[in-house]
Every structure is written in structure tokens, then in C-alpha cells.
């Protein structure tokens, strides 16, 4: 099951990418990478989605709402969560590690977790076993906001229940 991927993000690769110690290249920021990642993720979750016009037209219901609120709202439609998942996939813009990539992965998996927890729908090709492992990795991240750690914990339990 470890070979399953969604845009190349299998559970092992995701765990490796999230386990980074410092961003590659010269350090422009003297803060710990977890601190940078947490701040970047909080900023992304606090703001509205920034999307191209084609995507904006398909998501009128969430325009202007903070992304974090949309992901934690049980009323958010599965189709919207699927669009946010795609948005999360596109955020790293070619970066394979570092805070921006980690924040993008968190948004990607938060949309999947939200669909599972609030709608009992799986919006990815990942297996329940793979998702459970990915959620477990994310839960352990110190930079993850507490509301999202709880969301990932609930999703992890659902995945454990479904794989039995």
C-alpha cells in the first residue's frame, strides 16, 4: 500500500518531506523550520483562497471566507473540498521540501480529512491505510494548529475503522 500516490505524494514520501530539518539552500530566515511552516500555514488558513478565475467561478460559496474556516465547516460541500484538495496540490509550485511544501501538504490532507469526517466521503485514491499513516505524521507536527490536529485525529480513527 505504500506505493499508492496522489500526485506523487505517497505516505512514505510525504513523511520524508514533512520530516525536513532545514530548508535547502541559504537560510534567509533564522527561525526554526517548524516555526516558519506554522506561520505560513496559519497565514494560508486565515486568508481566502487565491485562485484563478476558472476555479473562482466554480467556488462562489467560499469566496471571502478564510480557508481554515471552510476546511473545518461541516457544511462545506464535498465538491468544494475536492477543489481545495487540488489547490493544495498546486501550492508548492515545484518545491519539493521546506515550509511552503509542508503547508501545502497540510491543506491537501485537511481537505481529504474534512470530506471523510464531515461527509464520510473519500476524495482521493489513497488507501485508508495510507491516509491513516499520513494523518498520523501530520498530527505529530508542532506547527499544526490544534483544530487541524483534532480534524486529522478524527480522520485517522475513521480510516482505521474503515480498513478493518
Mind giving me the DSSP string for 20-75? -SS-SSS-S--S-HHHHHHHHHHHHHHSPP---HHHHHH-GGGTTS-HHHHHH-TT
91 vs 86: CA distance, rounded Å: 9
Euclidean distance between CA atoms 125 and 151, whole angstroms: 20
pLDDT digits (tens, 9 = 90+) for 53-99: 545 454 545 556 788 899 999 999 998 899 889 888 877 655 567 78
Q: Are 107 and 87 in contact (CB under 8 A)?
A: yes
- What is the percentage of the chain residues whose pLDDT exceeds 70? 65
Give this prediction's pTM.
Answer: 0.67
Amino acid at each position: 500500500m505504500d506505493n499508492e500516490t496522489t500526485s506523487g505524494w505517497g505516505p512514505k514520501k510525504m513523511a520524508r518531506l514533512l520530516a525536513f530539518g532545514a530548508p535547502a539552500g541559504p537560510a534567509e530566515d533564522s527561525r526554526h523550520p517548524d516555526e516558519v511552516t506554522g506561520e505560513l500555514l496559519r497565514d494560508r488558513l486565515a486568508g481566502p483562497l487565491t485562485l484563478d478565475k476558472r476555479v473562482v467561478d466554480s467556488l462562489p460559496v467560499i469566496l471571502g471566507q478564510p480557508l481554515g474556516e471552510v476546511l473545518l465547516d461541516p457544511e462545506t460541500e464535498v465538491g468544494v473540498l475536492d477543489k481545495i484538495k487540488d489547490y493544495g496540490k498546486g501550492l508548492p509550485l515545484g518545491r519539493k521540501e521546506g515550509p511552503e511544501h509542508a503547508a501545502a501538504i497540510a491543506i491537501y490532507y485537511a481537505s481529504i480529512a474534512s470530506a471523510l469526517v464531515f461527509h464520510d466521503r473519500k476524495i482521493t485514491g489513497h488507501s485508508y491505510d495510507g491516509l491513516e499513516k499520513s494523518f498520523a505524521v501530520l498530527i505529530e507536527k508542532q506547527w499544526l494548529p490544534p483544530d487541524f490536529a483534532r480534524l486529522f485525529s478524527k480522520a485517522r480513527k475513521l480510516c482505521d475503522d474503515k480498513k478493518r
